[in-house]
Amino acid sequence: MKNHSRKTYSLINLPALLCNYNQIDNLTPNSKTIAVIKANAYGHGAVEVAQYLSKHVPAFGVALIDEAIELREAGITLPILIMEGALSREDFSTALQQNFWLMLHTTQQVEWLTSSFPNYVGKLWLKMDTGMNRLGIKPDEIKNILTKLTAQQLEEIVLCTHFSSSDELNNPKTQLQIQEFDRINQIFGLKKSLANSAGILHWPESHGDYNRLGLALYGSNPTPVEKLAVTLTPVMTLQSTIISLRQLSEGESVGYGEMWQAKRPTIIATIAIGYADGYPRNAKNGTPVFINGNIAPLAGRVSMDMLTVDVTDISDVKLGDSVELWGENLAVETVAEYLDTVNYELLTRVSNRVTRIYRS
């Protein structure tokens, strides 16, 4: 049994997860909303998230076939979309046995399919590259790919693409990608999927037969826009405790490299979380944490197991007090801005050393 004496937790609010899903799904009544739970459900625990959502969603999306197999072994029976598709010829056999939906995004994957599994009856998705230039078949090659598939495969296939800049609402790139997608699909009339979280929330013309809901499912905003059509509730609260308090005189430093020096008599609180737990080492002085209803700034370099904050201006701070690194009271987006990163990275990098506690 895991010892919880350190009291460094990732608190996962499962009802908030479902609330976020329902609100966003209601924005697209003519679409099916796939819950994307790749990367261990963005750090929230893929098995637990899938178990909670299984009665409410049509399918799940993951990146890798190994992630899908983990869900099957945990008893998840819903269809699972493998967004990186087959990485070996044998993956087609596994997908057929396990009811995985495979993405086709390279000519090699199509060759594996047509040469080894010409009568494959599993559901297929075909990714078209409309400008992300990462994965996908180029638009002028789509017709040739489709001619290699059987009538049954074509009947169910979903044509999809991925946006490069949908979080930038003034960037014309997303509209250009939608137009290119529509130009091609007007020829073939296939089922379609374009929208990620930002697409669902801000680009209604991208809503398709299937939408792929990722970051916003977990209550985190995929765009800088503060006012949304829905009210997102953070699902993860990263929490730890104060394990030391000490007085510093003016001019004294704290932590490795003397990166911070006191400009006044200062009270420093040491918190039981560090970069081995997933809190980034490159966090700047001044990065906020939430203690006893107040914001306290990071002071000094984050170490492997601990970080230090200036609590001089917070009254009644004591050993054992709870500290929120992000979550219900401190948006992960706010912390990400101080760290010159994105909310996606912070959520997914929380390590397995941090105990997840699920609230249902």
Instruction: Say if residue 346's pLDDT is above 50.
Output: yes
The pLDDT of residue 7 is above 60: yes
Percent of all residues in the chain with a pLDDT value above 70, rounded to a whole number: 99
Which residue ranges make up the annotated binding site for substrate?
134, 304
Q: Which residue segments constitute the domains of the chain, with CATH numbers given? A: 28-218 (3.20.20.10), 236-359 (2.40.37.10)
Task: Tokens 């080894």: give the residue.
Answer: 116
Q: What is the pLDDT of residues 72-115, one digit of tens each?
A: 999 999 999 999 999 999 999 999 999 999 999 999 999 999 99
Overall average pLDDT of the 184-213 stretch = 97
Taking only the tens place, the pLDDT of each residue in 319-345 is 999 999 999 999 999 999 999 999 999
User: How much is the average pLDDT of 216-236?
Assistant: 94
**Token reading at 257:** 């490299």
The pTM is what? 0.95
Q: What is the set of active-site residues?
A: 38, 256
pLDDT digits (tens, 9 = 90+) for 247-281: 999 999 999 999 999 999 999 999 999 999 999 99
pLDDT > 90: percent of the chain:
97
Interval 129-134 mean pLDDT: 95
The confidence band for 2, taking pLDDT boundaries of 50, 70 and 90, is: low
Alpha helix ranges (H) inside the chain:
14-26, 38-43, 46-53, 65-73, 91-98, 107-116, 142-146, 151-156, 173-188, 197-202, 332-338, 343-348
pLDDT digits (tens, 9 = 90+) for 160-179: 999 999 999 999 999 999 99
* Cβ 216 vs Cβ 23: under 8 Å: no
For residue 1, pLDDT over 50 is answered with no
Which residues fall within 8 angstroms of residue 345, CB to CB, at 6 or more apart?
A: 336
Task: Provide the annotated binding site.
Answer: 134, 304
Mean pLDDT of the chain: 96
CA 300 to chain centre: 29
**CA-angle at 37, arms to 34 and 39, nearest 5°:** 145
**pLDDT reported for residue 5:** 78
The rounded distance, in Å, linking the Cα atoms of 73 and 54 is: 15
311-320 own/partner pairs: CB under 8 Å, 24+ apart: 311/245, 311/267, 311/268, 311/269, 312/264, 312/265, 312/266, 312/267, 316/292, 317/242, 317/245, 317/267, 317/269, 317/291, 317/292, 318/242, 318/245, 319/242, 319/243, 319/244, 319/245, 320/7, 320/241, 320/242
Give the pLDDT score at 3. Answer: 59
Determine the average pLDDT of the residues in 229-237.
96
Q: Give the whole-angstrom CA distance, residue 100 versus residue 347.
A: 26
Six-digit token string for 29: 């009544």
